[in-house]
Amino acid sequence: MAGISVLRGTTAYGRLPLFHYPQLPVSISVSASKQKYGRGKFSLFARYSQSQDVFTTRLQDSIENLPKLVEDIIQTSINTGPRGALRLAQGIQAVIGVGSEWLADASKTASSPSGLATELQLGLLSPVYLRKLFERMGATYIKLGQLIASAPTLFPPEYVQEFQYCFDRAPSVPFQEIQAILREELGKPIDSVFEYVDPTPLASASIAQVHGARIKGTQEDVVIKVLKPGIEDILVADLNFVYVVVRILEFLSPELSRASLVAIVKDIRESMLEEVDFKKEAKNVESFKRYLEAMGLTRQATAPKVYPEYSTTRVLTMERLYGVPLTDLNSINTLVPNPETSLITALNVWFGSLLACESFHADVHAGNLWLLRDGRIGFLDFGIVGRISPKTWGAMEIFLASLATEEYESMASSLIDMGATSQNVDSKAFARDLENIFSSIQDLDTEIIVAAAREPNTNATAVSANLRVDERQMNALFLDLVRVSESYGLRFPREFALLMKQLLYFDRYTRLLAPNLNMLRDQRITIASNQSSRSTYR
Q: Which residues are catalytic?
A: 363
Distance CA 234, CA 87 (A): 7
The whole-angstrom separation of Cα 525 and Cα 346 is 10
Q: What is the DSSP letter of 207?
A: S
Nearest to 481 by CA among 419, 528, 397, 536: 419
Residues with Cβ within 8 Å of 508's Cβ and at least 6 positions away in sequence, in order, are 327, 446, 467, 469, 474
CA distances from 462 to 326, 331, 334 (A): 19, 11, 12
d(CA 390, CA 355): 9
Asked if residue 492 lies in contact with residue 482, where contact means CB atoms within 8 angstroms, the answer is yes
Q: Kindly list the distances between the CA atom of residue 64 and the CA atoms of 38, 77, 259, 322, in Å, as whole numbers in the listed order.
A: 52, 21, 21, 59
Going from the C-alpha of 531 to that of each of 144, 293, 355, 361, the distances in angstroms are 33, 20, 7, 19
In angstroms, rounded to a whole number, what is the distance separating the alpha carbons of residues 222 and 56?
Answer: 64
Contact 531, 391 (CB under 8 A): no
Show the DSSP H helices in 363-470 as ranges. Answer: 390-405, 408-418, 427-438
| Residues forming a β-bridge with 53 | none
